[in-house]
Amino acid sequence: MFDGLKDKLDDFREDVEEQAEEPEAGADADMSEHADEQESPNPGGSSDVESDSGTVAEADSDTPDSGADTGSDNGPGTLKRAKAFATGRLIIEEEDLQTPLRDLEFALLGSDVEMGVAKEILERVEKTMLGETRKQVETTEELVYKALRDALVEVISVGQFDFSERIAAAEKPVTIVFTGVNGVGKTTTIAKLGEWLADEGFSSVMANGDTYRAGANEQIREHASVLDRKLITHEQGGDPAAVIYDGMEYAEANDVDVVLGDTAGRLHTSDDLMAQLEKIDRVVDPELTIFVDEAVAGQDAVNRGQEFNAAAEIDGVVLTKADADSSGGAAISIAHVTGKPILFLGTGQGYEDIERFDPEELVDRLLGEE
């Protein structure tokens, strides 16, 4: 999952480490000598200097020399780095990051990460690595890992909440409406989520609000039959809001915890169907509206998420086919762009192939820590 993006993040980490390596061969001794001189500027080894008035004042080793040229080979910037090297440490300088950050930007955009999100990641990485007064660190790898991990987790974690706790705390029955375009696996996701809820101890009923597509009733009925779950349907062409409302009444009468309401797949450019979605939202007033799209759709999924959120505010996202997505752009971008969390990832064809989305686990995968 997301192997292409993982490889590109690995390249960035390696590039920064190479840029901020130990001093070049042949310069080590010279730099260490400069560092020693900087530590002990007086021949007698004293760190005190005598002022014009005859009193003794302690030299402030942190005060930079006036007119310092940190870019000079023999300037204080070089001496500062030499001191760090002499103590077995490294300092990340601005020039160390210029090329790697540019390459990281290209890598993110090439992985379908939305442009604004890519910029946010770059700014967070740079702030972590340079903003803390350019700290000395044990290794460059340590700082790069922390910077990337913090930036990615912050961007991906927008709006996260515990789905199971949300269902448990809500007044029953809880109605969840699923939206999205045609063919992204919305109905199958409903069946998978019904199984996931059952494992969590919640009962559910399906309500087929996809009343316009020929064969929609047959498709969802097959899932309901296999899973032995109640299905509420109307004839083709009926009112989708009425079907889901009937599902709510059934759930209330039969002590069912959750109503899973399917809706017709629609393009965000279809004004009449988007208006229908607004009506469902108004009539049913669901506890949650979940947008479903394919992880492999990348930037298209992000754009569609924005449009659906504008028509009937979504509460979260499910990304299907995450197991087939090497880019990872939708997973990185969609929560930050819509302001709504990714709740689940579809990872295969089986009913059990759905997993609760955990931003920290995803980032650990991307950075090779799992």
114 shares a domain with 14: yes
Is it true that the peptide bond before 173 is cis, omega within 30 degrees of 0? yes
202 shares a domain with 95: no
Is the pLDDT confidence value at 288 over 70?
Answer: yes
**Residue 12 within any structural domain of the chain:** yes
252 shares a domain with 131: no
pLDDT at residue 353 in the model? 95
Last residue of a domain, one of 106, 127, 156: 156
**Residue 48 within any structural domain of the chain:** no
Measured between alpha carbons, how far apart are the two ends of the chain, in Å? 12
CATH of the domain at 265: 3.40.50.300
The whole-model pTM stands at: 0.76
189 shares a domain with 107: no
- Between the alpha carbon of residue 154 and those of residues 88, 147, 363, the distances in Å are 31, 11, 10
DSSP 239: -
pLDDT at residue 189 in the model? 96
> Which residues in 276-328 belong to E strands, given as ranges?
288-294, 316-320
Count of domains forming the chain: 2
Last residue of a domain, one of 92, 123, 156: 156
**Residue 220 within any structural domain of the chain:** yes
232 shares a domain with 138: no
**Residue 45 within any structural domain of the chain:** no
253 shares a domain with 168: yes
> Which residues in the chain belong to E strands, given as ranges?
48-50, 56-58, 90-91, 136-137, 174-179, 204-209, 231-232, 258-263, 288-294, 316-320, 342-346, 354-356
CATH of the domain at 79: 1.20.120.140
Torsion of CA 266, 186, 152, 158, to 10 degrees: 70
Q: Tell which wins on pLDDT, 368 or 124.
A: 124
Structural domain harbouring 256: 163-357
pLDDT in tens, 157-206: 989 999 999 999 999 999 999 999 888 999 999 999 999 999 999 999 99
Q: Tell which wins on pLDDT, 231 or 278.
A: 231
Residue whose C-alpha is closest to residue 196's, from 318, 294, 314:
318
Last residue of a domain, one of 116, 134, 156: 156
- Residue 358 CB: number of other CB atoms within 10 A? 15
- Between the alpha carbon of residue 255 and those of residues 106, 166, 202, 204, 307, the distances in Å are 53, 18, 11, 10, 35
